[in-house]
Amino acid sequence: MLGLDACGIAEAAPLNEDDHFTTWIQQGYHAEMAWLARNPALRNDIHLFLPKARSVIVVASNYYLDPPQSPPQGAGSIARYAWGRDYHKILQRRLRALTRFIQAIDQNAESRSCVDSGPVMERAWAARAGLGWLGKHGLLIHRRWGSWILLGVLATSIPLAPDQPVANACGDCQRCMTACPTKALVQPGVLDARRCIAYHTIENRGDIPPEFHTAIGDRLFGCDRCQEVCPWNQRGENTEDPDFQAKPAVLTTIADDFLTMDPEEFDHRFAGMALRRAKLEGIRRNARIVIANRQDENGEPRDCPD
């Protein structure tokens, strides 16, 4: 009814992840994402997010789509989660509907939701709620959907029976770590964002270090490499969710187009999509690298175009 593919419930007790997260921050692995270092206590204790929290409901939506068979000449790669509408808005809307459902049962219930936009550790809560386990790429792996899922969290004052966590089923597999183009996965489950293509092509507002240019390849926005090689993702089922279907603008816009596109056209063409997070200047910067990599493959000089 709510357009969700999976749901789990966890007890609203502290996560006990503070030491791990603090070490990650101290190592500088969060790069220039300063907001990640804020409110560390809140990330660990959901009661600082919702004081009367008794339960944490975690929802998941499958966003997987097969890649296009005949992409246009010169097309760049865009992470699958950004092919459709911005998931933040979609999942928040569905969590609001869930909140209304809860309030219809108990009008005194208090609830508060988060979709990757606040100091709530969605993946850790999803693991506690039994939706899956944290893979060596740091993403939650669901037995059916793999890691091609988007997560949302709803803390509520209503006491609900919690689900049991599931065992980690990665075993000795390290394909995600081996396949990472920049070796950003420095330990199982530990990502150094300073080396991550997804970070540099989306969150980084400055220049991308030249040492990563070649590894970026044709990636205009994000990187799915660690997910593409995961054995749990090989059975990917195409989502039927209309909100996550690929928009024509994603499938038809080539890297060169961004160099001549004005801000108004960019906003219009990609309205309501996550691609706008990198802003036009960021996508242009990425496009120059992609074009230079393409020229290098053709044996031409490898200079980023102006």
Active site residue 116: yes
Strand, helix or coil for residue 219: strand
* CA distances for 247 relative to 44, 73, 178, 203, angstroms: 37, 18, 32, 22
Among residues 44, 177, 36, the alpha carbon closest in space to that of 116 is found at 36
Segment holding 296, helix H or strand E: helix 279-297
Which uninterrupted H or E stretch holds 19? helix 18-26
Which residues, listed in sequence order, are joined to residue 243 by a DSSP beta bridge? none
The catalytic residue among 116, 163, 256, 296 is: 116
Distance CA 291, CA 297 (A): 10
118: three-class secondary structure by DSSP:
coil
Pairing status of strand 185-187 against strand 190-191: antiparallel
Q: Are 227 and 139 in contact (CB under 8 A)?
A: yes
> Cα angle vertex 134, ends 19, 33, to 5°?
55
| Residues assigned a catalytic role | 116
